[in-house]
Structure 1
Amino acid sequence: MAAIQVILVIGLFYGAMQWPGEIYVVTILAGFGYGAHWSVVPATASELFGLKSFGAIYNFLTLANPAGSLIFSEVLASRIYDYYAKKQASIGVSINDHDKSQTCSGSICFSLTFGILSGICLVAAVMSTVVVFRTRRVYEQLYGNPRS
């Protein structure tokens, strides 16, 4: 899971830097990372917590997806987008002069959001690495030491 999180960090960081072709790189890496993450979650849940209450734990982990989407899209991304839209409207940048709604154009609209999400994924990668080191002894006892 830590490796998957690193892929997400790279993709989101690329979007935050506003480099050429960012939409393609972010889409490919975020899609791959997100898909791989949800492929690994059931196995991770059963390995870490066992099968006794797997249904409840897996459903709790699945609930994190819409909760995170609500928080990050409604609170974070929309407010940052509105800020940059107001900023562009105040300096006269408009796609359509007849449309008075505030719209944001350009990579600047989501670069801060990508940067924040990249940082959050980096924290998740570090936390996943901590779990690996904390459970290493258990797996060595179960399956033997692969280095010996």
Structure 2
Amino acid sequence: MAVVQVIMAVGLLYYAMGWPGAIYIVSVLIGLGYGAHWAIVPAAASELFGLKSFGALYNFLTLASPAGSLIFSGVVASGIYDYEAKQQASLKQRTSGFERLLPGVSEEESLSCDGTICYSLTCGILSALCIVAVVLSMRAGEQEQFGCGQF
């Protein structure tokens, strides 16, 4: 699991840096990492915690993905995107000297963000969280190695 998290961290960091061709590399690395994660987690959960409560644990693990998506997509990524879009809109207003809004379009609807800056901070945060997951995976591996994994 630690190797998979490293792959995902590298992919997200590559996108956060804004290097050329990032979307292609990120798509491959994150796809590989996410697919491998879903293949490894059930086996790791059964090894660490046993099969006695595997059904409940697997349901909890399955619920973690949409919960994380809600937090990161709905709160973190959207907040950062809106902030960057407002920064770009204010910069455009300052350079043009007046506000250009279409009639009937509100200010919130006209905001859009261009460039890698829109999601680079979000991908940096996610990359850092993947590194935390690497450390936690290594700790879980050490506990399993020394026989401390069964509860």
TM-score (norm 1): 0.88
Aligned AA (2:85): A
Q: Which residue of 2 aligns with 1:109?
A: 118
| Residue 120 (1) aligns with residue 116 (2) | no
Identity %, equivalent residues: 61
Which digits, 9 at most, give the CA deviation of each residue in 1:65-112, with x for residues without a partner? 01000000011000000000000000118xx97576100011110000
1:95-147 deviations in Å (ceiling 9; x for gaps): x97576100011110000000000000000011011111211239xxxxxxxx
The 3-state SS of whatever aligns with 2:92 is coil
Trace 1:1-148 onto structure 2 (pairs within 5 A): 1-92=1-92, 98=102, 101-138=110-147
* Structure 2 CA distance for aligned equivalents of residues 67 and 106 of structure 1: 28
| Structure 1: stretches of 5+ with no match in the other structure | 140-148
Query: Which is bigger in relative contact order (C-alpha 8 A, separation at least 6)?
Result: 2
RMSD: 1.8
Runs of 4+ displaced beyond 3 Å: 96-100
Unmatched runs of 5 consecutive residues or more in structure 2: 94-99
Alpha-carbon separation, structure 2, partners of 1:97 and 1:112: 28
CA distance in 1, matches of 2:78, 2:26: 19
Q: Find the aligned partners of 2:21 and 2:119 in 1 and give their Cα distance.
A: 14
In 1, Cα distance between the equivalents of 2:4 and 2:90? 40
